[in-house]
Structure 1
């Protein structure tokens, strides 16, 4: 379905697409306001109970993809939700969130990028991620296209190594290291169609991946590190033609069958809970044996 959505989106004029998105956001804002007026505000304790019911426990390393509006009206806003996540993983756990400064096609973004400022460039991945990015003690990886933020005792390990990687999903990326660490991924109010970054780890984990997922041109941009040092890097980005063929949610039945994923709820948001290590192992096995990818979810 995501491939069809991308194709349809490519045919709609940008002005109409933006107007549709704004109407959708306005509808969500009205619904949240009505929830608040009805006294349905979610508290930290309620959210924490839901997160624990997802199987998240102290010491876990968890990557969170989320749509804040889907959770419902949260008392205290993004701060309350992030506090609940941090409390769930505890002092020995690690909380990770995507923080890409780009919400559209990577190719459009990189063509207009001169310098990525690790410390200052905001996340375009939603209100929760931008709040989390600005918290004291949060480390941000230094990929100009797919930076990840992390808080916890292993934050440096998760985020170091991303600088200078030509593609953002290599074995040195936070996405691959989450699998190595036996971490978990939460999709809260979103699905793989909305946030399939971890699926791309497969493409860098196997040799000679069979689809042209990367645009042929290699781009040169600068990264301004947290310490102020400016470093030139080479970057590859996704090929929009191949990206339009993604059918990410088509993989959900396979992941559920293999015990990689379970379904839950946080607040009012439908939530998917993934074992990151099993997810990668299943993706590699199914690709090598049956040709399964996000572009061919039933194999080829």
Structure 2
């Protein structure tokens, strides 16, 4: 079968920069980016051009942060999408590579996030399942001290981004991807549970499975939560390439989510 021609618009680094500026991204900003390359259109240079455009728009004083999560580094007994046969569990537990911030690729975060993770000078947080990577002068402060028993709470990069007046940029993604809403879950009464996993490096270069006690976090309802935030005027909306883009402060999203989740979750 013939290969269909690409669909537009044609997106270049220059058009990305113009669209990001029109949306309100400013030099010196600290951004938390959730992104979809395919939503942008036909991007000349792919994810590299997107990261270049973002860093150019932010300038030397700005910092770009992306989620670089690795949810597969977990106990296979918990896997549901898809599950694996129970007879595989012991083999997976015995052989799962330990999380290494320098080499472990992100999972399901998109090629733009993975490109930013590998960018020269990028730093990555230590959490073996919910890490973030950052490029720019605030990268060390944002990624430092990510506790193993605090996936997306007060000892995670999300709280550091909130302190630095960062903004969220949803670039072709839904509110369901907005990790900032999870920080609000840590600030309302939430059940805690003890789980096995992930596999972590030991000081001698080996590996072990770590048991942690964490709250139950869930993205259920985040699209409805985001729509409510948008209706109440907390979101700037525009277009970057062909993608719907949304820009809003981390702190506003967290504060709004605290109230919304308290009313809508039992």
TM-score norm. by structure 2 comes to: 0.81
Q: Which residue of 2 aligns with 1:133?
A: 117
Q: Which residue of 2 aligns with 1:34?
A: 6
Match of 1:189 among 163, 172, 186: 172
Q: Which residue of 1 aligns with 2:248?
A: 274
Query: 1:155, CA displacement in angstroms?
Result: 0.6
Match of 1:202 among 164, 184, 199: 184
Q: Measure, in 2, the Cα distance between the counterparts of 1:252 and 1:100.
A: 21
CA RMSD after TM alignment: 3.0
Q: Measure, in 1, the Cα distance between the counterparts of 2:47 and 2:101.
A: 22
- Using a 3 Å threshold, how does the CA distance of structure 1 residues 292 and 52 change in structure 2: closer, same or farther? farther
Q: Which residue of 2 aligns with 1:152?
A: 136
Count of aligned pairs: 248
**Counterparts of residues 1-40 of structure 1 (less than 5 Å):** 33-35=5-7, 40=9
Query: 1:283, CA displacement in angstroms?
Result: 2.2
Which string of whole-angstrom CA distances, capped at 9 and with x for unpartnered residues, describes residues 38-81 of structure 1? xx421111001111112110110001101110111111111100
- Partner-residue secondary structure (3-state), 2:133: strand
Query: 1:292, CA displacement in angstroms?
Result: 3.1
Q: Measure, in 2, the Cα distance between the counterparts of 1:85 and 1:229.
A: 37
**Any conservation in 1 of the 2:35–2:172 contact (CA below 8 Å)?**
yes
Match of 2:194 among 207, 211, 217: 217
Query: 1:87, CA displacement in angstroms?
Result: 0.7
Confirm whether residue 175 of structure 1 aligns to residue 146 of structure 2: no
- Higher share of residues assigned strand: 2
- Higher share of residues assigned helix: 1
**Any conservation in 1 of the 2:64–2:134 contact (CA below 8 Å)?**
yes
Q: Measure, in 2, the Cα distance between the counterparts of 1:103 and 1:274.
A: 30
Q: Measure, in 2, the Cα distance between the counterparts of 1:281 and 1:169.
A: 15
- Using a 3 Å threshold, how does the CA distance of structure 1 residues 158 and 97 change in structure 2: closer, same or farther? same
